[in-house]
Structure 1
Amino acid sequence: MRSYFDGEGMEIYIENASQLWQLDVVYPDLIDATQDTKKQRTFELSAIDPLWLAQSNRTELSFEFTSSIEGELPLQLNVDESPIYKRDGVIYAAVVLCGLYVMIIWEIVNRTFAAIIASTLSVGILAALNSRPSMATIMGWIDVETLLLLFGMMILVAILSETGVFDYLAVYAYKITNGHVWPLINCLCLFTAVLSSFLDNVTTVLLMTPVTIRLCEVMCLNPVPILMCMVIYSNIGGALTPVGDPPNVIIASNSYISKNVSLFFFSSIIILPARVFQNIISD
């Protein structure tokens, strides 16, 4: 039932806000031995007479439960006080996400600044709809462990790039393969996959690309197919370990998942489907 009150707090109108919802329950002597049952129903609440809604200063919604059994009936009620409907929320989120991709793809602003604009706009939409999150909630959304791990990996890759490790690996691959094309491609892809397992895969590919292009120029090869193979192996290597890719870091840093996630877990996700696919091709 919904009650309407005037400015002085006097009740001026009462109406039934929804239809009757009847639930079937078990016999009283079987309640303790019956498993918990979850039933869900969405009620669309709208004023029967919009005139009373316009004249009222505030409204109250009351719930009434009746039972036909004699005895205690355990019942749990969850009420979502959010003023945002899921249908409208999906539209708002899609608009913000599309705007973010437009700014990134067409390089309207810097990618970091575009992310700041989208996040600020999201919080602004929630605040405009009277559902603004608290500062503690916003701080809880920040995954500090993932950010610090990525920051440390970036520093490590920057230091390794200054030492010339990536150039050395490319030259070493050319040396041990004696300049043969396919063994050289396999070595470059293998080195890229191993490095991407422990470092950021995008940065690894960017650092291996200039040396690979120079080797292709010396051997009069088209570097595009080789770089495509390196990118594929980089993604595979990044998916092998919990620290090889930012999504893996986010998954592995979860307190519930981290108890059962190991290096073998991520490796099996890639290796097992690859072996199955290889067996299908060989058959």
Structure 2
Amino acid sequence: MNPAELAPSDPAGRPSPVGGPPATGGAPDVPTQPEHSPQHHHATDEQPGPLLASGTAADVFALDDATVLRRYRSGRDAAPEAEILRHVVAHGFPAPAVLGVDGADIVLERLHGPTLLQALAAGEVSLPDGAAILADLHTRLHAVPAPELHAAQTDVPWPRVPGGPTVVHLDLHPGNVILSESHGPTVVDWSNARTGTAELDVALTALILAEVVVDAGGVYSQAARVLLAAFLGATDVDPTGAIADAAALRALDPSLVPGERDLVPEAAVLVEQLIDIARHPA
């Protein structure tokens, strides 16, 4: 995720981020058909359905009103992502159900509703409430224990992080939260998910928001600052000790272009400053 995607010129009109189902309405979220067999949707040049979203690494296609297919263009194995998704869903965390996986293809439950980013931009959710949603999702996710036999994604150069006691998303921001009709706030785009520490996960969310704040050309800079400060006040995790690691990780994010990567050091300083202000209010 890059800062430009968190500050679109017309957030309500953008497709949802790659990695999750599109924000659509008027149809049931829970699949009403038998489980799809992904062997019919191998990662080839053949398009399995209408293209809903396209990102740095993957495309999302509509299979029907209840399901989507997410396909890695590089041919990356989607099995580790499916494993993490099934694990968190089994522990009651709000994420799309996995209906099938084969090679680079993963068939997912299709969610209906706007992203949190779209709802914030439209004024349908206040900035403090948006921050509370992000903090609550982190708390709930970090209560999920790390799976005992998680298959590490050894063929992916980024992100490389040490393991830890819990599941971490590593890209949990408003564009990756769907306010779904059936599940409430639901997290999508699990391509970076690993086992790790809550501190690193929270630090990365804070850093992503801070990059929008320090982007001189960003029209949502002030709103992002309010959201960031509210998030740091709402979370029960102190990310201070993980900010340097989060910044190093973000600097290597292949989805960032050089100009965006240049925002990371200043964003890290801002996060540290806001944490200090929260600890020592005037």
TM-score, normalised to structure 2, is 0.24
Which structure is higher in RCO with an 8 Å CA cutoff and minimum separation 6?
2
- Richer in helix (by share): 1
Larger radius of gyration: 1
Q: Which has the higher strand share?
A: 2
After TM superposition, the score normalised by the length of structure 1 is: 0.24
